[in-house]
Chain A
Amino acid sequence: MQLNDQPLTRTLRAALASKKILLMTHLVLGYPSFAVNREVVRRMVTAGVDLIELQIPFSEPVADGPMILKANQESISSGVTVAGCLEFAAEVIAAHGIPFLFMTYYNILFKYGVEDFVSLAREIGIKGFIVPDLPPEEGKEFLEITRAAGLAPIQIFAPTSTPERMRYLAGHGDGFIYCVARRGVTGSKTDFDTDFADYMVRCRAATDLPLAVGFGIRNRDDVASLVGRADIAVIGTETIRLVDSRGPGAVEEFIAGLR
């Protein structure tokens, strides 16, 4: 099987040569403020995070749990705009040498204009997109434009995805595959049990792209349990919770202790 050599995929494979597992973190732009986001990103990078997803808030984030939902809504209520998010992303990408992705819902791209959005994202150095409510069947235009721009449209596997479906999704994806660890929304506890091991075997069989696992990863043990099964551990809700309760400083210590 010929390995995918899309720029983001190449970067991740290179990083995997020296690390057993990569760490991807997540933050909701503008929550609680861009100033805190800036500090959190700096501390995440210092602590050794390998890539960061920047969530552009949306008023109807159907796949997100209560914590990220609240962050989305508070960010929007505080007046954060898509233009402000793009500006902030440009700033942090220029300041830090790791890959950044945009995570958002399709309406944000649709309203902006997919072509303009992708083009601007490329210009500021974004490496890929995670759009959880855009299956390939609905995202033909987005997929073509993104790939033409050399960016990665990250596809999502779920435990309910059949092997055929996984192969179909992988055929439309680049960069890596985001494997949702369990059914449900973000932010709840995940059991990394036998079913999970079988699921990861199915994911691995469906694609040669690196596999990221997210939803419910909260500590060093969770990350350790992914070594050998996945390539990237995704930490989302937990860092938002930490920033809320103990401030940005707590994030650095937390991330540094994950592997």
Chain B
Amino acid sequence: MDIKEGYYGQWGGAFTPEVLHSTFAELKAAFKKAKEDPAFWQEYVNLMSSYSCRPTPLTAAENLSGLFGGARIFIKREDLNHTGAHKANNVIGQGLLVKRMGKKRVIAETGAGQHGVATATMAAKFGFDCTIYMGEEDVRRQRPNVFWMEKLGATVVPVTDGSRTLKDAINEAFRDWVGSMDDTHYVMGTVCGPHPFPEMVAWFQSIIGIEARAQILDRTGGLPAAVYACVGGGSNAMGIFQGFLNDPEVELVGVEAGGRGLDSGEHASRLAGRDASPGVAQGYKTMFLQNADGQMRDTHSVAAGLDYIGVSPMLTDLWEKGRVRFAAATDAEVMDTLDLTMRREGIIPALESAHGFVQAFKEAPGLSPDDSIIINMSGRGDKDIFTIAHAFNDPSWKEFIIARGKEYAAE
């Protein structure tokens, strides 16, 4: 039982500067009211179905199931959401809340860029001003998403502090917010940060699990043996896991970024690895990748959305209680799996999502054909075209880039 508001076991809390106290009080009150109002959830579900292709399908990956010879593999297609990722669920929900609160501007942080694109899209739809903070390194890695955010009318601010990735973008968004909270809402992109963000984002993302549970029962007549999801902050994982938390026979597996290997020091595995320890940063308590002094370490992943220092306090609690098992997928495994999934199934997972596929493919052969498993495909991979082409060392793509570069240089 959670004793203290905003805590999941010993994890979570609200470690916020005093200047944000009243803003969080306002947000908590607005969220509580919305959560208790069935009309709000109905409005949300209606909007998601007309604007974001919900319910997203549960695709039977028949070719891959045949290849591995074990459990039937199903893929929950969050990539088919508007803007190509599960991020739409959260931002549309928060957008409806912002409308209720009467604020006019939204800010957000983004790593892979999917949350930034989703927020910029939501802002365009609802008529909010929008600023997106993105680490300079991620701006470089995810240039196509930056292009779309700008075209959607958002201002993208490259963050040049620290490791120039997601954690630095979060800090910068908080800095903006402490000066702008009167008219601005911070659209936190994942189930992290101070209370009530984890609870709020998890609530909007629970739509994935609610749908997935009903769909698998409909398709197979039973529950899956396991559900796999990649974990950066953990929003897609919490989203689908919530549908099965009360089904103890369903194993829940979170897959973190193993980067160049768990012993390399270049990864972002908090719960699957051995390098993380309890800490308090960015407003909440969880397991962080930090040094003995409490300074956050640099992380690495081929997937920009997974190289985060912390992890949802909700997932840390579920991990501690043994309800969610954690594994790590290396960059190399992710690239192999991506290749296989594209060629065998005609599906292009995001680099983030491919982490979940890696672990599912490792474990499917050990299960029976009577079993089913679900992989939550959090997003589509076409956003990763530059990173994927680089990782595959694709010669024709390189030629194209060189030629296009020369054309621009000549202009």
Q: Which residues of A contact B (CB under 8 A)?
A: 57-63, 65-66, 69-70, 73, 76, 81-82, 105-108, 110-112, 132-135, 137-138, 155-162, 165, 169, 180, 183-185, 188
Contact = CB atoms under 8 A, between A and B. Distances in A.
Contacts of B293: 81-82, 108, 111-112
A60 B15 contact: no
Contacts of B18: 132, 135, 155-158, 160-161, 169, 180
A162 B21 CA distance: 10
B232 interface: no
26 contacts: A57-B295, A60-B171, A61-B171, A62-B171, A62-B174, A63-B19, A81-B293, A82-B293, A107-B290, A108-B294, A111-B290, A112-B294, A133-B17, A133-B283, A135-B14, A135-B16, A137-B14, A138-B15, A155-B18, A156-B17, A159-B19, A160-B21, A160-B181, A161-B18, A161-B21, A180-B19
A163 to B, nearest CB: 12
Given A73-B161, A81-B293, A112-B294, A107 B23 contact: no
B162 A59 contact: yes
A177 B18 CA distance: 12
Given A65-B175, A158-B21, 8 more contacts: A59-B295, A60-B296, A63-B17, A76-B295, A107-B290, A108-B293, A138-B14, A138-B15
B15 A185 contact: no
Contacts of B282: 60, 62
Interface in B348-371: none
Contact of B178 (A63, A111, A135): A63
Interface of B: 13-19, 21-23, 161-162, 167, 171, 174-175, 178-182, 277-283, 288, 290, 292-296
B83 to A, nearest CB: 28
Which 5 A-B residue pairings sit nearest by Cβ, starting from the closest? A184-B179, A111-B294, A158-B19, A107-B294, A59-B295
Contacts of A60: 162, 167, 171, 281-282, 296
A228 B281 CA distance: 37
A61 B162 CA distance: 11
Contact of A183 (B14, B178, B296): B178
Contacts of B175: 62, 65, 184-185
Nearest to A139: B15
B209 to A, nearest CB: 30
B289 to A, nearest CB: 11
Contacts of B181: 160, 183
A106 B180 CA distance: 24
Contacts of B294: 58, 82, 107-108, 110-112
A59 B279 CA distance: 13
A61 B172 CA distance: 10
B283 A183 contact: no
Given A60-B281, A134-B15, A160 B22 contact: yes
A188 B16 CA distance: 20
Contacts of B296: 59-60
Nearest to B24: A135
